[in-house]
Homo-oligomer: A and B are copies of this chain.
């Protein structure tokens, strides 16, 4: 159960302006429409201001502009969503199990596990792996030879780190994540393929979050690199020797082909495909379902996903395109 907090205490702790009774208590978060007594809610976008009117929340995090429309206590901040993130983190602290190694875990020779770390049931820690302070290795994880996991990181469950992978501090890896599988490298040989050994590794920085079933391949020779603060959603594929710049966020199902370098603070939509060997500038936005087939050297927003129309109309668009292209031969 989460603790209770008074509005006065929250205002002081997070530097918010309070308009209302400081002794009012909140003990859960809620959306404006589902809130009830004891709930703290937020309005991040003035577009939804109408929802304020009927909210039953005890208090709402709002911007100064929206505060006048708030029928209940208001906690005012220029960035209500950020304030919400911080307060919710206080009210719902991340679960961390007690330190110790579950008796069903299998620990290899030479593995160094910090005494404050927690190794869950049926986890495997192979030889010479290093597990930092307060790390949580959840049930069914496989941490292979020589892997290093930085302090305060969490491998939530069934995460797989291949040999030699290096993970920073305060990372969160969700279920089914695979880091360090072989990159897709084969040399053609008379209609067959000869495997090219993938002898690089993967280096993941600090404060990186990686979503469920995402895969990050090891480098062919040099390493694949995920810099500090990168946030990856579920089912993303990161090819060998890719670099993802610090604080870039990538939505689900995106695929990045080998050796592409993505800049810092980029925001990449879902199901975007990147060709290989590209360079993408810092501060680039790519909207969902786009194909990035050439390097991008300027910040800005880029797109190519075609939006759906009625199938009947779409058939005509496709036929039309084909006709035009043929005409121009």
Contact B310 A304 (CB under 8 A): no
Interface readout for A301-327 with B: 1 if CB under 8 Å, 0 if not? Answer: 111111111111111111011101110
Q: Is the CB of B325 within 8 A of A313?
A: yes
Are B234 and A197 touching (Cβ within 8 A)? no
Q: Is the CB of A306 within 8 A of B306?
A: yes
30 A-B residue pairs with Cβ-Cβ distance under 8 Å, sorted by A, are A29-B199, A34-B222, A82-B189, A84-B187, A88-B196, A89-B195, A91-B197, A95-B163, A140-B158, A157-B160, A158-B158, A160-B175, A162-B175, A176-B215, A184-B231, A212-B215, A235-B237, A239-B252, A253-B255, A255-B270, A257-B288, A271-B291, A273-B289, A291-B307, A293-B305, A294-B308, A300-B311, A302-B310, A317-B325, A320-B321
Q: Are B85 and A192 in contact, CB atoms less than 8 angstroms apart?
A: no
A residues 198-243 touching B (CB-CB < 8 Å): 199, 209, 211-213, 215, 217, 221-222, 229, 231, 233-235, 237, 239
User: Using Cβ atoms and an 8 Å threshold, which residues of chain B touch A193?
Assistant: 229, 231, 247, 249
Nearest-neighbour CB distance to chain B for A154, whole angstroms, equals 11
The CA of A270 and the CA of B191, in the complex, are separated in Å by 20
B residues within 8 A CB of A176?
160, 176, 178, 213, 215
- Determine if A6 is an interface residue (Cβ-Cβ < 8 Å): no
Q: What residues on B are CB-neighbors of A191 within 8 Å?
A: 247, 265
Cα–Cα, bound, A307→B305 (Å): 9
Distance, CA A133 to CA B193, complexed state (A) = 23
Distance between A40 CB and nearest chain B CB, rounded to angstroms: 10
Contact with A221, one of B30, B163, B213, B289 (Cβ below 8 angstroms): B30
**Judging by beta carbons under 8 Å apart, are A197 and B92 in contact?**
yes
A81 contacts the other chain (CB 8 A): yes
> A124's closest neighbor in chain B, by CB?
B139
Does A169 count as interface, using CB distance less than 8 angstroms?
Answer: no
Instruction: Give Cα distance in the complex from A122 to B104, angstroms.
Output: 9
Does A106 contact B106, Cβ atoms closer than 8 Å?
A: no
Partner of A142, one of B88, B175, B182: B175
**B142, A142: Cβ atoms closer than 8 Å:** no
A134 within 8 A of B: no
A255 to B94, CA, bound (A): 27
Contacts of A212 in B (CB 8 A): 160, 178, 181, 215, 217
Query: Hey, what's the 0/1 contact readout for A75-94 against B, CB within 8 Å counting as 1?
Result: 00001011011101101101
11 further contact pairs, Cβ within 8 A, besides A172-B182, A303-B310:
A84-B187, A120-B124, A124-B139, A158-B158, A191-B265, A301-B312, A302-B308, A303-B315, A306-B306, A309-B322, A317-B322
